[in-house]
Amino acid sequence: MNFTTMAADRVMQDLVDCLLAEHFFGTEPLNLLASAADQPFTGLSAEQRIWEWHNEPQGSILVALRPGITQQWEKVPGTPVLVRQDQQLTELSPEVFMTQVLAGMTDRYQDNEKGFALFLDVLRTSVRQTELSLAHRVNSERLLEKSNADFFLTMEQWASLRDRPYHPLAKAKQGLNDAEYQHYQAEFARPVALNWVAIDRTLLQCGDGVTDLAQQRPADYLLPFALHAGLQHEMQQRGIYESHIALPVHPWQFDHVLQAQLGDAFAKGECQRLDFTDGDFYATSSLRSMTPCFNSADYLKLPMAIYSLGASRYLPAVKMINGGLSEKLLRQGLDKDETLQQKLHLCDETKWWAFMPPDATLFDEAPRHLAAMVRGYPPALLEDKDTRLVPMAALGTPLPGSNQHFFDDWMAYRQLPANAASVMTLFRELAHSFFDINLRMFRIGMLGEIHGQNAVLVWKAGHAEGLLLRDHDSLRIFVPWLERNGLADPAYRLKKGHANTLYHERAEDLLFWLQTLGIQVNFRSIIETLALVYALPERGLWTAMGEVLNELIDTIDFDTEARAMIKQQLFEAPHWPQKLLLTPMIERAGGPGSMPFGKGQVVNPFHRLHRED
């Protein structure tokens, strides 16, 4: 396989589709040409069209399109993007295509050379790092014979291969060279030796789960006894064991960021670099979240100031404070619904340590680069021999050069025939479990970060038993529904004058996250992957999901008004909201902050099942 070509094709597909969905080329109808004998694309069907975008003086760009389900038109997979100039046709790479597109948009984006340059640099990185990932083969054989921890790590590596579906820049981890990318990215399964920094304990802010700083140090959770003793010995030798607490630091962060951001704190002795580096940790699908180096339910999350998805990946105390408020609210919410008590599982994210000098605020840049969270997974889930944890992103990620899918192992375990009917049975079960939990959460006024990386399927004895949520700092809420269910506003800490995506003015705005992250990202990628691997029609899977949703909306205890609103938004409205990815990034032109955010509109996928283009 030519991985360079595969990577360019994959990024180009997402790039064109995303630009079209975001109406980047305007809201006027596309200039579509019917297939003709002399057209440059071979094998187009009767419903497919050629889109010609006039981009003088570069020439006309030609793209083969087909009607889509989640958007009106999408690029025909496997077809090139061409430019026609002086009757000559040339195939474009993603970078050259975007260079020409942006050159034609200077009137719309005036004085934004910085945004254009950043976008092209990230795009170039995304293609290169996608190529590196495609060339690596994840060891996915005999999955259910693995231990729970080994299975979970394998599925995290599988999930990492695609990262955020449909985002053409998702694989780009700017700041990592090729060798670092292949060392630190999850799919390569390379052990990482962490560095450690000792911090004056009076300069630490901690989560509610750290009630005794002397007895609850990160190393107590992350290192086995023998290694912990080595770290403790070094601190005793330095005479700082009683006065300082050792925090783990990602080696990339240790080498590239600490001096620039916190040099003064090291010069004063408030922070000290330690020599200790024992213990093998492994990246999970989010890169800076890591496994323990021994058999434990305690995992690790660290700041790592690479540039990914348009944002720097630091770990500020304010995010962890808000995460603690969300977790408390989630646990209170479990008591409001018997099904949630049984089916919704939560990581414990209350144990964290963050450097916070006395003159710093929660919103300062430097301290957020030195922190650590111990994320506790429910031990019962990791210890039960019949239970497996499956990041849902792994279900929506095809393996390069393979037709393997977790549904193969699932069908074999259930002794189901390996056919389309069995795939549909399991898909319906998966959809029922996922949407049952999330609609019940929505009913009480909250929705989690339910894209495929943070939503983890709890698979038990051959069934979709429930859902495990992590990364609680992105719990979205609608306060009026919380209050009518006996829950209170968690009073998140927010920076004045800055937009937030936690509070919502209307229930419809909260539903946005189910439609976008839950369906347009998570379930759409699962549908398309199942369709690809098992040669199934996507429409049949979308129809099945719609039937499951309809049934759940009817049977869950919504009031009449809420039920009508949900059905109207999901099935009757001509358009759905969508989360904009590329246009906000270009407009912001880099800079600090969270992932660039915007809202747009796209066609209702359930309407598209009965389309007439």
Say which CATH class 3-108 falls into: alpha beta
**DSSP string for residues in 440-487:** HHHHTTEE---STTTEEEEEETTEEEEEEE--GGG-EE-HHHHHHTT-
Mean pLDDT, the chain, integer:
93
* Residue 265: predicted pLDDT: 95
Return d(Cα 66, Cα 80) in angstroms, integer.
Answer: 14
Return d(Cα 298, Cα 296) in angstroms, integer.
Answer: 5
Question: Where is pLDDT greater, at 593 or 438?
Answer: 438
The secondary element (H helix, E strand) that includes residue 361 is none
**DSSP β-ladder status, 81-85 and 59-67:** antiparallel
Question: Where is pLDDT greater, at 364 or 256?
Answer: 256
- pLDDT confidence bin for 109, thresholds 50/70/90: confident
Q: pLDDT (tens digit, 9 = 90+) per residue, 551-578?
A: 999 999 999 999 999 999 999 999 999 9
Instruction: Judge whether 602 and 71 are in contact, CB under 8 Å.
Output: yes
Peptide bond before residue 574 is cis, with ω within 30 degrees of 0? no
Burial code (b: 16+ CB inside 10 Å, e: under 16) for 587-601 equals: ebbbeeeeebbeebe
Can you tell me the mean pLDDT for 305-328?
Answer: 90
* Residue 589: predicted pLDDT: 61
Question: Where is pLDDT greater, at 93 or 312?
Answer: 93
Can you tell me the mean pLDDT for 416-439?
Answer: 98
Return d(Cα 173, Cα 160) in angstroms, integer.
Answer: 12
Q: pLDDT (tens digit, 9 = 90+) per residue, 389-402?
A: 999 999 999 998 89
Q: Could you give the residue range(s) of every CATH 1.10.510.40 domain in the chain?
A: 385-608
Return d(Cα 99, Cα 221) in angstroms, integer.
Answer: 49
* Residue 176: predicted pLDDT: 95
Sheet (strand 289-290) strand order: 204-206, 348-355, 371-376, 298-301, 289-290
Q: Is residue 189 exposed (0-12), middle (13-18) or buried (19+ Cβ within 10 Å)? A: middle
Q: Could you give the residue range(s) of every CATH 3.30.310 domain in the chain?
A: 3-108
Beta bridge partners of 66: 74
Q: pLDDT (tens digit, 9 = 90+) per residue, 454-466?
A: 999 999 999 999 9
Q: pLDDT (tens digit, 9 = 90+) per residue, 271-303?
A: 999 999 999 999 999 989 999 999 999 999 999
Instruction: Judge whether 318 and 493 are in contact, CB under 8 Å.
Output: yes
Q: What is the dihedral of CA 138, 139, 142, 148, to 10 degrees?
A: -80
Instruction: Judge whether 397 and 290 are in contact, CB under 8 Å.
Output: no
Angle at 136 between CA 132 and CA 141, to 5 degrees: 155
Fold designation for 385-608: Transferase(Phosphotransferase); domain 1 (1.10.510)
* Residue 342: predicted pLDDT: 97
* Residue 592: predicted pLDDT: 47
Instruction: Judge whether 117 and 106 are in contact, CB under 8 Å.
Output: no
* Residue 595: predicted pLDDT: 63
Q: Which residues lie closer than 8 Å to 298 by C-beta, 6 or more apart?
A: 221, 222, 292, 374, 375, 376, 377
Question: Where is pLDDT greater, at 268 or 360?
Answer: 268
Percent of the chain with pLDDT over 70: 97
- pLDDT confidence bin for 498, thresholds 50/70/90: confident
Instruction: Judge whether 588 and 115 are in contact, CB under 8 Å.
Output: yes
Q: pLDDT (tens digit, 9 = 90+) per residue, 224-238?
A: 999 999 999 999 999
Can you tell me the mean pLDDT for 498-513?
Answer: 94
